[in-house]
Chains A and B, each alone.
Chain A
Amino acid sequence: MTTGVQGPAVRVQSLEKSYRELHVLRGVDFDIARGAIFALLGSNGAGKTTIVNILSTLLRADAGMVSVNGFDVATQAAEVRASISLAGQFAAVDEILSGRENLVLVARLRHLKDPGKIADGLLERFALAAAARRRVSTYSGGMRRRLDIAMSLIGNPPVILLDEPTSGLDPEGRLEVWQAVRELAGQGRTVLLTTQALDEAEQLADRIAILHEGRITVNGTLAELRALLPPAKVEYVEKQPSLEDVFLAIVRGGSPGGSDGADTAAGTGR
C-alpha cells in the first residue's frame, strides 16, 4: 500500500533517548535493507523495546533521525503507521473476543475490504481455524502468539516489528513463530526482531546487531560476527541429542502434523 519508496526499510541515525536521568540510547545507528530479517540483541533493559517503540511512533526520540519505509517517524507518523505492523513483547490480543473477532477488528481498523475473509485466511494459515470462535482467554501461549503475529500481518505492511516474539513460549511454540517469521521474509517483508535468545538470532536473522550500553556495538552477518573471534578449532565431541530434541520427539510422538492438535488440547486446559 505504501511501498515504492526508495532507500532502506529502516534507517536509524544518532538516535538518543533518556528516561529522566537514565540515558538508555546514546547514539544508535543502523539500517535495515528491504526484505531482510534484522535481529537486535541485547540484555534486559538495554533499550530494545525503546527502539521498537520509537520506530512504531509510540515514543518520541530525544535526538537523531529515524525513518521507516522512507518516512520520518517524527514528521510523517501517519505514513509510518501505515507502513508498519507491531507485535509487542506481550501478545497484545483481546482476551474477551474470539480469535476471529480479533483479526476482524484489526482488519476493520486498517480500513480493509472484506475483513471476514481476511480473518478466515489468516486463521487457516496460522492453524487457528479450529479455535476461531473460542475466546482468546482459552488459548495456549503459542496460539496467542500465532494470533498476535497473524494480527500484525493484516494489511500487508512492508515493515514488521516483532519485540521478543518468542519470550515465554515452549520450544514448539518457538518453532512455529520462527516458521512464521521466515515466511514473512520470504514474501519480501522487512522484519526487525528483538530477542535475548542468541540461537533465535542465529536461526533467523540475515543481520544481527548487538545493543550494549546505549549503542550498537556490533552489526553484521552471523559469519562476520563469528569472524570477530579467533578462528574455530576442530574438536571431536560425541553428538548427544539435546534436551530440546528429546522434548520435541516425545511431544510430537511421531506424527509431524500433530502439533496443532496438541496445542488446541493444551489450550482448553488453561
Chain B
Amino acid sequence: MTTRFVGDTVVLTGRSLRHITRSPDTIITTTLMPIAFMLLFVYVFGGAIQHGSGTYVDYLLPGILLITIASGISYTAFRLFLDMQGGIFERFQSLPIARPAVLWAHVLTSLVANLVSLAVVVLVALLIGFRSPAGVLAWLAVAAILVLCTLALTWLAVIPGLTAKSADGASAFAYPLIFLPFVSSAFVPTATMPGPVRAFAENQPVTSIVNAIRDLLTRQPVGSDTWIALAWCVGLLVVAYALAMRTYRRKFS
C-alpha cells in the first residue's frame, strides 16, 4: 500500500506540476504582489522607517517571503477547487489508487511552486541591494523554516479548496494571511506600536518567524524566537493537516 501511495503521489504530482509549467503566469502572479510591496517599502516608505542597523531591504525581506507564501498558497486552494469543480477529483477518487495521494500531490506541487516563487523574490531582492553574510547552514535553516511554513499554510489552503463554492471563495481565505505581516515586526519594529496592537504583533506567529529568519540572515545568535517560530510552524502544520484530512473524510468516505 505504501509503495502504491508513493507511486500514485508521484504520478499525480507530475500532473499538477505540468499545470504550472504550462501556465507559468501563476508563478509570476504570485510573485508580483510581494515584489511590488518590497519595491514600495524599500523605495517609498523605507527611508522614513527607523529599523535599526543595516539596509531596509535586509530588514524587510523575511516578511516579504512570508507574504510570498501566503499569496502562493491561494493558488493551491484555487487549483484544488478547479479539480473538485471539474469532476476530475471524483474520477481520481473512483480509481483504485491510494486516495490521499490526490491531496498530497497538490501539497507537493504547492511546495515546489512556492519554492520557485521564493527564489524569484530573493533574486529581485539581491538585484535591489539585499546582501546577507549568512553561511550555507544558515541559509539551509532559513529554507527549512520556509518549507515548514509553506507546508503548514498549504494544508490550511486545502480546506477552502475542498469546501469552497466559488473560485473567489477558494482563494479569498489567503487575504488575512497576506495582511498578517503588516501587524508584526515584518515592516517596522513593534516597539512604536500602541499597547494592544503591540501585544498582538509580538505574540502572533509572523513576528517570531520573521525574527528567526532575520537573525539567521544577519548572522545574529539564534534566540528564543527561533524555537517559538518552529513551534508555531509545526503546531500549525499538525492542526491544519488534521483539519484538512477531517474535511476530506467528511466529503469522501
Contact surface of A with B, Cβ cutoff 8 Å:
53, 56-58, 60, 78, 81-82, 84-86, 88-97, 101, 105-106, 108-111, 135, 151
Q: Are A92 and B87 in contact (CB under 8 A)?
A: yes
Complex Cα gap A96–B25 (Å)? 14
Instruction: Determine the residue in chain B with the shortest Cβ distance to A135.
Output: B22
- Count B-side interface residues using an 8 Å CB cutoff: 23
**What residues on A are CB-neighbors of B253 within 8 Å?**
60
Contact partner of A56 (CB less than 8 A), chosen from B7, B19, B94, is B94
New A-B contacts (20) at CB < 8 Å, excluding given A57-B93, A92-B90, A96-B23: A56-B94, A58-B252, A78-B96, A81-B97, A86-B90, A88-B87, A88-B91, A89-B87, A92-B87, A93-B86, A96-B19, A97-B18, A101-B18, A105-B11, A105-B15, A106-B95, A108-B11, A109-B11, A111-B4, A135-B22
**Distance between B218 CB and nearest chain A CB, rounded to angstroms:** 42
* 13 cross-chain CB contacts under 8 A: A56-B90, A57-B93, A81-B94, A81-B95, A81-B96, A92-B88, A92-B91, A93-B86, A94-B15, A95-B86, A105-B11, A108-B11, A109-B8
6 A-B pairs with the lowest CB-CB distances in the bound complex, closest first? A92-B87, A82-B96, A86-B94, A92-B91, A56-B94, A81-B96
Per-position 1/0 for B18-49, Cβ under 8 A of A: 11001100000000000000000000000000
Complex Cα gap A53–B94 (Å)? 9
Q: Is B92 close to A, CB under 8 A?
A: yes
Q: Is B12 close to A, CB under 8 A?
A: yes
Complex Cα gap A268–B136 (Å)? 51
**What residues on B are CB-neighbors of A96 within 8 Å?**
18-19, 22-23
Instruction: Determine the residue in chain A with the shortest Cβ distance to B22.
Output: A96
**What residues on A are CB-neighbors of B12 within 8 Å?**
109
Q: Are A88 and B90 in contact (CB under 8 A)?
A: yes
Complex Cα gap A2–B198 (Å)? 64
**What residues on A are CB-neighbors of B86 within 8 Å?**
90, 92-93, 95
Complex Cα gap A95–B12 (Å)? 15
**Distance between A210 CB and nearest chain B CB, rounded to angstroms:** 25
Q: Are B95 and A93 in contact (CB under 8 A)?
A: no
Instruction: Determine the residue in chain A with the shortest Cβ distance to B11.
Output: A108
Complex Cα gap A58–B252 (Å)? 6
Which residue, B8, B19, B88, B96, has most C-beta atoms of chain A within 10 A? B96
Instruction: Determine the residue in chain A with the shortest Cβ distance to B92.
Output: A109
Instruction: Determine the residue in chain B with the shortest Cβ distance to A59.
Output: B252
Complex Cα gap A82–B4 (Å)? 14
Contact A58 B90, CB 8 Å, known A94-B15, A105-B11, A111-B4: yes
**What residues on A are CB-neighbors of B18 within 8 Å?**
96-97, 101
Complex Cα gap A197–B146 (Å)? 54
Complex Cα gap A111–B8 (Å)? 9
Instruction: Determine the residue in chain A with the shortest Cβ distance to B10.
Output: A108
**Distance between B174 CB and nearest chain A CB, rounded to angstroms:** 22
**What residues on B are CB-neighbors of A106 within 8 Å?**
91, 95
Complex Cα gap A84–B236 (Å)? 38
Per-position 1/0 for B95-109, Cβ under 8 A of A: 111000000000000
Complex Cα gap A78–B19 (Å)? 28
**What residues on A are CB-neighbors of B19 within 8 Å?**
96
Q: Are B96 and A110 in contact (CB under 8 A)?
A: yes
Name the interface residues of B66-98: CB closer than 8 Å to any CB of A: 86-88, 90-97
**Distance between A8 CB and nearest chain B CB, rounded to angstroms:** 20
Complex Cα gap A254–B245 (Å)? 57
Complex Cα gap A171–B252 (Å)? 35
Complex Cα gap A185–B192 (Å)? 76
Complex Cα gap A92–B11 (Å)? 18
**Distance between A235 CB and nearest chain B CB, rounded to angstroms:** 45
Complex Cα gap A58–B90 (Å)? 7
Contact A90 B8, CB 8 Å, known A84-B94, A96-B19, A96-B23: no
